[in-house]
Structure 1
Amino acid sequence: MALIPLNQYVTIIRQGEADEWGEHHTPPIRIRMKCNLNEDSQLVQNQIGKEVVAGMEIIFDKLADIRYEDQIEYTNELNQTITRSPIRITPQRMINGKVVQTAVFA
C-alpha cells in the first residue's frame, strides 16, 4: 500500500536490447505504471550535479525500475501527451532502510 494516493498512470518506454554496434533491432518495451504526478516547475540537480528545471515530479510506490535512458510518457486531463526523460531518480527510504517510494523528476 502506497503512502500517498497513486491516481495517475505513466508509460515507461524502454529501448530494446542493442547489438554489438549499438543498434536497437527489437521494438521498444512499453510499461504502464501507477503514480502520483505533479506538473510544476522545480529547480533540481541532475545526475551529474548541474541545476536544471524539471517540469514534472512523479512518485512511484516502492523501488520502481526507472532508468535514465528511459522515456516517460504521460497524458494529462486536457488530453495532451507529454514525453520526457528522467532528470533525477531518488529512492526515498524509511528509518529501517526500506524504500517506500521513488521520486522521479523529468
Structure 2
Amino acid sequence: MIVSTTLQIVFRVFFDALAWSEEVSRYMLVWSTFLGATLAYKRSMHISVTFVRESFSQRVRKALRIARWFPRSSSSQWRSTLRWTTCRGSGNRFLPPCGFRCPSCTS
C-alpha cells in the first residue's frame, strides 16, 4: 500500500497520474482493515468491558461464552445467504477505472 501510494504521488507530481494506483490503495486499505480486525478478534485483542462478565462465577462465564456463539453463527449464515443472493443478481458489471468486466458468481 505504501509503494502504491508513493508511486501515485510521484507520478502525479512529475508525470501523468496512474489510473490504477488509487483503486489499488483503496482496496488494500479495506483489506488490511478487515484482516486486522479479524486477527484482533481471533486473538481477543479488541477493547471489551469485562466488569459485568467478571461478576459471574466461572461456570456461568463458560455457559455465556458457549451461548454467545448461537446468535453469531445464525447472523453469519444470514449475511452469507444475503451476499450470495446479491452476487448472483449483480450480473456482469463493467468497472470503468480498471477497464474490464467483473464476472458474476454464476458464470
TM range (shorter): under 0.3
Select the structure of larger CA radius of gyration: 2
TM-score between both structures, scaled by the size of structure 1: 0.19
The structure, 1 or 2, with the larger RCO (C-alpha pairs under 8 Å, 6+ apart) is 1
By percentage of residues, which structure has more helix?
2
